[in-house]
């Protein structure tokens, strides 16, 4: 009997010792993270409060108003300054006219650009094509919205106006046709909302290409498209390093009207 008691005591001691060693080993092992709902929540930095406009399309509280229907004070001519000009001379004033709360292209006067420079941005801009008359294709209501003075979102009459699809309204000119023709009717205002991620460059050239999402009349027609470079009429796109640059609007010889232009830096 005594032997049995001694044997059992030895067994219990061994088990306890083994359990203790196992616990120590477990403590030394790296533990998996102890997840709880709060583990994946953060509280700072708190995003700023931005008040929406009074109706869809109206500028929110933090937008830079580029055109409110009254004047062209935020714009200037995009014609190059002659090389023999005095140093530091500003470009000429924007040569377009104001009519009924809209800025209207004066054909042949040249494009215009913002005085302010932009990078990543959200842009709202509305346009109206002039009467179709006898013009067709690229000659009917052609203009363009050039992000950073370089990358064109095409402005064109899209009302029964066939042309090459990578040059129709809503195209990233000669790079990407829109996924839909969301243009309504000639004579009606068309609404662009454009979300722009600027290309990034370093000393050796391109690091990250530009990306764009475009909605026309609330319909997404370019979904996070990655640009191959600039948008030339002839030849292939390529990148030339740049920083922040003006937004510009094209004079392509037709009296397209623009209104309610605002932008948010992103």
Candidate ranges 29-37, 78-86, 134-142, 199-207; the one touching Mg ion (CB under 5 A): 134-142
Radius of gyration of the chain measured on its C-alpha atoms: 31
111 is a contact residue toward Mg ion (CB under 5 A): no
141 is a contact residue toward Mg ion (CB under 5 A): no
Pick the closer one to Mg ion by CB: 228 or 264.
Answer: 228
Q: With CA atoms as reference, report the closest residue to 130 among 139, 138, 141.
A: 141
The DSSP bridge partners found for residue 103 are 98, 258
Candidate ranges 71-79, 122-130, 142-150, 182-190; the one touching Mg ion (CB under 5 A): 142-150
Candidate ranges 67-75, 79-87, 141-149, 193-201; the one touching Mg ion (CB under 5 A): 141-149
Which residue of the chain is nearest Mg ion when measured via CB?
Answer: 144
59 is a contact residue toward Mg ion (CB under 5 A): no
**Under DSSP, is residue 92 helix (H, G, I), strand (E, B) or coil?**
coil
CB 200 within 8 A of CB 242: no
Burial group, residue 2, by CB count within 10 angstroms (0-12, 13-18, 19+): exposed
Pick the closer one to Mg ion by CB: 187 or 253.
Answer: 253
| The one among 59, 144, 178, 246 contacting Mg ion by CB under 5 A | 144
d(CA 3, CA 6): 5
CB 194 within 8 A of CB 200: no
Pick the closer one to Mg ion by CB: 142 or 186.
Answer: 142
170 is a contact residue toward Mg ion (CB under 5 A): no
To Mg ion, the closest distance from the beta carbon of 256 in angstroms equals: 9
Candidate ranges 86-94, 135-143, 187-195, 226-234; the one touching Mg ion (CB under 5 A): 135-143
CB 164 within 8 A of CB 175: no
CB atoms within 10 A of CB 189: 16
Contact residues: Mg ion, CB under 5 A: 142, 144
């Amino acid at each position: 009997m005594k032997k049995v008691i001694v044997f059992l005591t030895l067994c219990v001691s061994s088990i306890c010792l083994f359990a203790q060693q196992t616990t120590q080993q477990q403590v030394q092992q790296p533990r998996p993270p102890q997840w709880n709902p709060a583990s994946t929540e953060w509280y700072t930095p708190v995003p700023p409060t931005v008040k929406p406009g009074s109706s869809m399309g109206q500028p929110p509280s933090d937008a830079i108003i580029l055109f409110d229907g009254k004047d062209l004070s935020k714009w200037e001519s995009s014609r190059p300054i002659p090389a023999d000009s005095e140093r530091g001379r500003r470009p000429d004033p924007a040569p377009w006219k104001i009519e009924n709360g809209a800025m209207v292209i004066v054909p042949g006067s040249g494009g215009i650009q913002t005085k302010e420079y932009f990078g990543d941005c959200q842009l709202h801009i509305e346009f109206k094509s002039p009467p179709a008359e006898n013009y067709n294709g690229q000659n009917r209501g052609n203009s363009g919205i050039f992000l950073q003075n370089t990358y064109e979102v095409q402005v064109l009459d899209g009302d029964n106006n066939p042309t090459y699809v990578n040059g129709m309204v809503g195209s990233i000119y000669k790079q990407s046709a829109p996924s839909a023709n969301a243009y309504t009717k000639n004579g009606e205002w068309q609404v662009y909302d454009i979300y722009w991620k600027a290309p990034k460059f370093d000393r050796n050239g391109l690091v990250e290409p530009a990306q764009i999402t475009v909605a026309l009349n609330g319909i997404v027609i370019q979904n996070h498209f990655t640009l191959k470079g600039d948008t030339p009429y002839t030849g292939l796109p390529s990148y030339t390093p740049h920083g922040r640059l003006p937004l510009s609007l094209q004079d392509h010889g037709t009296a397209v009207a623009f209104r309610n232009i605002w932008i948010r830096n992103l």
